Chain A
């Protein structure tokens, strides 16, 4: 029962570097999303997808790109990392929008 799998679990980047955070789910869920969690703040939505080939911006999309070529995978790309992107990133999936969400274990990213 894998559920939502995120890789890597930890990552350190230098300012200006790019990288991709991977997210895969094996529940055949249509809806997938990315959140970031910062101290003292609730989780905030970065990008989301309602199905393969369809993505849209959340409330904090700047500096991030996403794509959804398959139902299973929803990678998050940091184009040019900045210290303000130091955070814990969570991927989530649900059968449809507004149904029960299931979260991955998170990726802790530090940008120096």
Chain B
């Protein structure tokens, strides 16, 4: 059972456009929602994360929007650049207990120049 569902599986955006990746979760006990970025041949690396006490978090061109009632969160990449081409994973975790991360299926993002 996939506790975190991510879409789309792949996405192509023109340079300068907005890239949007969506995730939905099932477990209302999740209270930490990170996004990881993975370049070919590398391991994933933390990009940005949000807690459910805020509805939005922005770091540079990257923004997480969080909708607690809908159990959804999304990553927006403004002014997308070819260097943003990578695979993106959303994830969720609980502060209590083992704090295991549950990952979404991943989105392969391609930014065309």
Q: Do A and B bind each other?
A: no
| Chain A residues engaging chain B, CB cutoff 8 angstroms | none
